[in-house]
Amino acid sequence: MSNLGKLIINADVNKGTINRNLYGHFAEHLGRCIYEGIWVGHDSPIPNTEGMRNDVIEALRVLRIPVLRWPGGCFADAYLWKDGVGPDEQRKKVVNVHWGGVVENNHFGTHEFLRLCELIDTEPYIAGNVGSGTVREMAEWVEYITFEGESPMTEWRKTNGREEPWSLKYFGIGNENWGCGGNMRPEYYSDLYRHYSSYVRNYGANKIFKIACGPNTADYNWTEVLMRESGSLMDGLSLHYYTTQTGEWNNKGPATGFDEQLWFQTFKQTIYMDELIERHDAIMSKYDPQKKVALMVDEWGTWYDVEPGTNPGFLYQQNTLRDALVAAVNLNIFHKHNDRVQMANIAQLVNVLQAVILTEGNRMLLTPTYHIFDMFKVHQGAERIDLVLESPRYEMNGESIEQISASASVDEGGTMHISLCNLHHADSAELRCELRGTKAGAVAGKILQASSLDAHNTFDEPEQVTPADFQDFRQEDGIWVIKLPAASVVVLSVQ
Ligand code: AHR
């Protein structure tokens, strides 16, 4: 069955820039994200650059990742950065208390992370330790990284092989301090935010963008208290929201082998992001009507049961066509809120949760989510343009959501990109699209679709889900008629 929808694109109505940082990522010392996924060590038989695997670096460079958050996550509020600098043999072996209780040998530390950022050409975003670290440790970390002059920290940095300071813009004052980062009440954390952030200094020309720990999902009181008590002292407030297919943490369900109902429920859960942003934004606007404080969705993505037989503390899950659509829908939602949301970081980069890359020994594969970030990167830094969408409803067991998600932007070179997503598991959609305010006419497209809802790439068959050229559009009396297959994502370029 094919359902009818209507899309009007007002190419001459500019809705502001889509911050590149909405395409950010997150890498934590968790499971096989850092170790194995990125860091294999200098002596590894896996081809590497200064200990970091070349295949992963190459694949990440293609995505033009704007910003990478590290070292956690919950790990951040247990992390003592001084354990992770200096000669390897002197680095402390500690226990990773949050994630599987495994040994953390600290071989990947500050220098390695900042080198990774150089290699993949991305901005670093460091999350500091409020939960179990001191104000002094946090202050010294920023000094170690960014100070040019003479001080014990800069001398130490030089001894460890780095003469020049790095530039560091994004710094988080803690992570999930309402939970794994100290189980704090917002009033208490708010005071700690004021305290710790005062010591996160700007050295020379380096200007830090300070990000406060924001709410968990719909904890609107947290946002209220933080904005009221310390909104004037922050540049950004984070928001964490994960998509579980059932909405229940103790019953997350499998990453593959799900039915149509779980497919539908996943999208119902994921589009809740729209409401969350809207409501947190409304509270922020009470204290900051000019939207100077950015909302940073610095953890988002799908969270399923771990793959059978893998360490439950490692959060390793497969990534299917469904994840690709989840990514596409969320990116469209972030675009829509580009006046408040200035960064988003999908969790996590490699081998953890909704990863863009999976590795096994010396093998690597690109997940369906990777392909969405690749197809959508044309929106990075582009000007969002107005659109009016009349979507058919997607119904399941008495509930319904919009079948189509859409977003449009114009890049520096004047090319318009329209990203469309058909969430229906079985029905295609015929979209009648009117382009107003432009003379553009030549259209080209890419599509991501697959033979089954849980289609995914494996190490033996890494190309089960990959983008293809899309040509199912035609012009009828000045209207573009676009046929979106069920469960697909399309990105059109219009010139
Ligand atoms: O991404 C996994 C975990 O989810 C992070 O460590 C934590 O911040 C969140 O609860």
Torsion sign across C-alpha atoms 145, 151, 152, 158: positive
Q: What phi, psi does 321 have (nearest 5°)?
A: -55, -35
Q: Is 189:228 a contact under the CB 8 Å cutoff?
A: no
> What is the DSSP code (8-state) at residue 166?
P
Does 231 sit in the ligand 1 pocket, CB within 6 Å? no
Query: Pick from 200, 257, 186, 203: which is nearest to 233 by CA?
Result: 200
Query: Residue 358: exposed, middle, or buried by beta-carbon count in 10 A (0-12, 13-18, 19+)?
Result: buried
Measured CA to CA, the distance from residue 29 to residue 348 in angstroms comes to 10
Question: Atom of ligand 1 at shortest distance to CA of 26?
Answer: 1
Give me ligand 1 centre to Cα 73, in Å: 5
* Residue 71: cis peptide before it, omega within 30 degrees of 0: yes
Buried b (16+ CB within 10 A) or exposed e, 228-240: ebbbeebbbbbbb
Give me the mean pLDDT over the 164-180 stretch: 98
User: What count of other Cβ atoms lies within 10 Å of the Cβ of residue 270?
Assistant: 27
User: What is the 241 CA–ligand 1 centroid distance (Å)?
Assistant: 10
**215-243 per-position pLDDT tens digit:** 999 999 999 999 999 999 999 999 999 99
Q: Mark residue 217 as left, alpha or beta (left: phi above 0; alpha: psi -120 to 50; beta: remaining).
A: left
Cβ proximity of 319 and 263 under 8 Å: no
Mapped onto helix, strand or coil, the DSSP state of residue 418 is strand
Distance of alpha carbon 350 from alpha carbon 356, whole angstroms: 6
Q: Does pLDDT of 483 surpass 90?
A: yes
Q: Among the atoms of ligand 1, which is closest to the Cα of residue 348? A: 1
Residue 423, both tokens: 């969430």
- Read off the pLDDT of residues 324-344 as tens digits, 9 standing for 90 and up: 999 999 999 999 999 999 999
Is residue 239 in contact with ligand 1, taking CB distance under 6 Å?
no
CA 407 to ligand 1 center in whole angstroms? 28
Is the shortest distance between the CB of 213 and ligand 1 below 6 Å? no
Report the percent of the chain where pLDDT is more than 90. 96
Pairing of the two strands 103-104 and 416-422 = unpaired
Q: Considering only CA atoms, which residue is closest to atom 3 of ligand 1? A: 73
175 lines ligand 1 (CB under 6 A): yes
pLDDT band at 158 (very low <50, low <70, confident <90, very high): very high
Whether the CB of 27 sits within 6 Å of ligand 1: no
pLDDT at position 345 is: 98
